[in-house]
């Protein structure tokens, strides 16, 4: 695509179907990069599994119509999956979190507390991570239209970044990568290149993350969910980051 003298790519977005032991679960629209990370991260944050050892195998099948993730999970988690499974038809879009639920009870399920005392971040470290993030977002530099999620250590050094057209997909990819690398999510923080909505908070909490920093403002519901989980939430305000919870 071209506008004046500027050139950039248009990012891909394809349907990604999640199938657990032959059972169809969800279809998400996502950027077809780091697909194994996405498969693992989504399975963790959706609570289909609790840890990687609950997954016997995952096969990724691509076709002109999209991607299918075929999982084999433990009998214990499959039994829980069947109990929890609702009659729903989820279709993920870049601008939404969870669609197609028959009722709103899912949104108000209490989140576990990630810490007894909120994790305090060094504001300078958050800012260092924020300034460094664009240099790690290769796809964004080419397309100017994808979100990034980064794992940043306590000093502000970025260790892992994942990108996607959907901010929640980018986070799932990051959490999947951290799980596969066996990273201790009790230390450091997640940096999101977008607003912090409730699903960002929920996904982070489900994976034991103690702090999230967002480049854009959070929603009120996200703030309430962060307070509920004792998650530290920081947002960018002009030239500095401030603690919201």
How high is the pLDDT of residue 5?
A: 54
Contacts of 146 (CB under 8 A, 6+ apart): 11, 31, 137, 139, 140, 163, 164, 165, 170
Terminus-to-terminus CA distance in the chain, angstroms? 41
Would you place residue 9 in the very low, low, confident or very high pLDDT band (cuts 50, 70, 90)?
A: confident
22 dihedral zone (left: phi>0; alpha: psi -120 to 50; beta): left
What's the DSSP call for residue 193?
S
Checking if the pLDDT of 97 tops 60, the result is no
What are 17-71's pLDDT values in tens digits? 999 999 999 999 999 999 999 999 999 999 999 999 999 999 999 999 999 999 9
What are 177-228's pLDDT values in tens digits? 999 999 988 789 999 999 899 999 999 999 999 999 999 989 999 999 999 9
Whether residue 16 lies in the annotated active site: no
Checking if the pLDDT of 16 tops 70, the result is yes
Which fold, 123-243? Cytidine Deaminase; domain 2 (3.40.140)
Give the start-to-end residue ranges of the domains of the chain: 14-108, 123-243
Q: Determine contact, residues 31/12, Cβ cutoff 8 Å.
A: yes
Domain pair 14-108 / 123-243, same fold: no
How high is the pLDDT of residue 7?
A: 66
How high is the pLDDT of residue 203?
A: 96
How high is the pLDDT of residue 25?
A: 94
Sign of the dihedral defined by the CA atoms of residues 153, 187, 47, 71, in that order? positive
How high is the pLDDT of residue 94?
A: 46
Catalytic annotation, pick one of 16, 34, 96, 196: 96
* Threshold 0.85, pTM exceeds: yes
CATH of domain 14-108: 3.10.20.10
Checking if the pLDDT of 101 tops 80, the result is no
Checking if the pLDDT of 95 tops 50, the result is no
What are 136-156's pLDDT values in tens digits? 999 888 988 899 999 999 999
How high is the pLDDT of residue 191?
A: 98
Query: What does DSSP say about strands 6-7 and 14-20: parallel, antiparallel, or unpaired?
Result: unpaired
How high is the pLDDT of residue 90?
A: 47
User: What is 20-51 written as a DSSP string?
Assistant: ETTEEEEEEEE-SSSHHHHHHHHHHHTTS-SS
């Amino acid at each position: 695509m071209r506008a004046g003298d500027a050139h950039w790519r248009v990012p891909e977005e394809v349907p990604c179907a999640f199938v657990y032991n032959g059972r169809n679960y969800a279809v998400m629209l996502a950027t077809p990069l780091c697909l194994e990370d996405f498969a693992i991260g989504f399975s963790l944050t959706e609570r289909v599994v609790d840890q990687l050892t609950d997954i016997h195998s995952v096969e990724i099948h691509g076709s002109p119509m999209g991607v299918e993730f075929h999982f084999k999970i433990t009998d214990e988690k499959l039994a829980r999956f069947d109990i929890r499974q609702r009659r729903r038809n989820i279709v993920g879009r870049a601008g939404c979190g969870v669609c197609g639920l028959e009722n709103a009870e899912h949104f108000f399920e209490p989140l576990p507390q990630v810490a007894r005392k909120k994790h305090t971040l060094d504001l300078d470290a958050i800012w260092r991570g924020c300034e460094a993030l664009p240099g790690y977002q290769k796809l964004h530099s080419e397309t100017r239209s994808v979100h990034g999620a980064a794992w940043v250590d306590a000093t502000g050094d970025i260790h892992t970044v994942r990108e996607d057209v959907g901010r929640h997909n980018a986070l799932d990819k990051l959490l999947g990568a951290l799980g596969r690398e066996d990273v201790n999510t009790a230390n450091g923080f997640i940096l999101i290149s977008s607003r912090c909505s409730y699903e960002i908070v929920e996904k982070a909490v489900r994976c034991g993350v103690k702090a999230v920093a967002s480049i854009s403002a959070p929603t009120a519901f996200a703030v309430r969910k962060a307070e509920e989980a004792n998650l530290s939430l920081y947002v960018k305000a002009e030239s500095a980051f401030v603690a919201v919870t």
